[in-house]
Structure 1
Amino acid sequence: MITELRRRAYLGAMQVVSWLPRSELPFAAPSRPELFEPPAPEPEVAAAPVVETPAPSAAPSTVPTPAERPRIEVPRPATQARGEAKPVAADEPAPAEDTRPATAPPPRFALQLLRAGDCLLLVELPNGESFQSRDPAYLLLKDLLRAAGLPDSPRLIGEPVRWPLLVRGNMDQGPDAARDFLQGFVAARMDEGEPCACLWLVGLPAVRFAGEADSEAFNRELRIEGLGAAWALPGLEMLMEEPARKAELWQAMRRVRQRWMSRSE
């Protein structure tokens, strides 16, 4: 059921000027009796030329229409919230590019310094922990020392060097910093102890950061400023995984061992 005011509003929206209900409507105003009388017959008039005239527009309805609701502008999210790029004005300067060199990530390695006779050994720790007496890598190292004519029970010098030194902080721990620290560490141990006939660099981290070389230098002699003569060797784990490398290592040892054997004689 709808009220008379709303019913007239609907009829006005449909441009219905007059209407008659088929039955009595609830809440409706009383009907006007003149609407139910038959229309009077129109008098006959002489035919006149037909002149087409525009149809009169329907009289405006007196039924009040509902007031138009005010439009409410809903704020839309900015384009930046949807990940769209912000347009740059023509006269707005482009952001300056960052020309600073990218910082290299810090290398990660663990090395142990040992002494066997007249030689110092900077050895990569395969699992990052100190050697144990029954470790396969340590047993292989003892075999290398016996073949080189050196004591097969090397003496530990200090704690292992683990890089990076700090987990947090702003200190530079890149490759250059690792090289400077490692070379300074070995040089200080040389000055504190007995003379060194040859420095063994066992493993790629020792060759790279103490000898400033790469894997191409394996089984070769190096001359390092501040550290003297050195010999680059593959890592113990690499020798265990690739036994074919041992033959080249034995051949190189026959040449290099003269450095420390001549001093012991």
Structure 2
Amino acid sequence: MQVVNWLPRTELPFAAPSRPELLEMPEPLVIAKVVQAPVAETPVEPVVKPAERVKIEVPRPSLASTRTNAKVEEEEAPVAVRAPVVPPPRFALQLLRAGRCLLLVELPTGESFQTRDPAYLLLKDMLRAAGLPDSPQIIGEPVRWPLLARGTMDQGPEAARDFVQGFLSARLEDAPCVCLWLIGLPAVRFAGEANAESFNRELQVEGLGSVWALPGLELLMEEPQRKADVWQAMRRLMARWKESNE
């Protein structure tokens, strides 16, 4: 009957004593239900892949943008300003002597004086009014500028001034004078270093001494009212060359 242990309900007579361990009632087998505690979710770390070399694309300027930038840089760069080229002045001057005065006269036509030229006749009248010989002596050839039709020599205003003043200085060393008449704007500008505002004034020029600035003969013929100013200025200076003639 597959009975392992048998215990009588009552004590049997003449029976052997029961073993104590057999009398102990076995504790019921309790099958504990294992309840699993909630497991905190562990954040899954992302799988880090080996760092890859990041490719940085450098934009290359196109040919058009390069030309544009170059053009902008050229515009922004300071441009060297060249001095304007000044054309050489053009004039013809004749040096004459009347008594103790020298006269540097602008030739209105660029040609030497002729005895019947209106400008020359006016000059003779002015010399008579000043008390000087009315037949002035012509000294040398006319001073014409520019000197050369071609070439690389500087023939600007400063060169013309140096040439005219050098020419007069050499003549004054040969025969000094008490007053140098500068007749006409080119004579006043390149010998006296003055302008039209200095007409009828006495100037002191280094190396030339006392000079008298006068309007040109042709200008006096075109504007006769200027002769009055010439006459008033002449009266203030006349004593200088008259004393030298006595």
* Alignment TM-score, normalising by the size of structure 2: 0.70
- In the TM superposition, 1:186-197 aligns within 5 A as 186-192=168-174, 194-197=175-178
Cα deviation for residue 111 of structure 1 reads: 0.4
Give the match's secondary structure for 2:94.
strand
1:89 is paired with a residue whose SS is helix
1:152 aligns with 2:131: no
2:217 to 236, 240, 246: 236
- The one-letter code sitting in structure 1 at the alignment partner of 2:90 is R
Deviation at 1:100, TM superposition (A): 2.9
Q: Give % identity.
A: 70
Separation of aligned partners in 2, 1:101 and 1:91: 26
Q: Which residue of 2 aligns with 1:223?
A: 204
Query: How far apart are 1:91 and its partner, in Å?
Result: 4.0
Gaps of 5+ in 1: 1-86
Partner residue, 1:24: none
Supply the distance in 1 between the matched residues of 2:93 and 2:214 (Cα, whole angstroms).
14
What residue in structure 1 maps to residue 165 of structure 2? 183
Q: Distance in 2 between matches of 1:178 and 1:191?
A: 20
Q: Deviations 1:32-89 (Å, cap 9, x if unpaired)?
A: xxxxxxxxxxxxxxxxxxxxxxxxxxxxxxxxxxxxxxxxxxxxxxxxxxxxxxx943
d(CA) in 1 for partners of 2:218 and 2:81? 41
Equivalent residue letter for 2:184 = G
The higher radius of gyration belongs to: 2
CA deviation string 1:106-134 (max 9, x = no partner): 11111000111000000000000000000
RMSD: 1.4
**What amino acid is the match of 2:185?**
L
Q: CA deviation at 1:180?
A: 0.6
State yes or no: 1:99 paired with 2:73: no
Deviation at 1:96, TM superposition (A): 6.0
Unpaired runs of at least 5, structure 2: 1-65
Of 104, 114, 128 in structure 1, the residue corresponding to residue 110 of structure 2 is 128
| TM-aligned CA distance change 1:89 to 1:187, over 3 Å | same
Aligned mates of 1:97, 1:241 — CA distance in 2 = 47
Picking from 87, 92, 99, the partner of 1:110 is 92
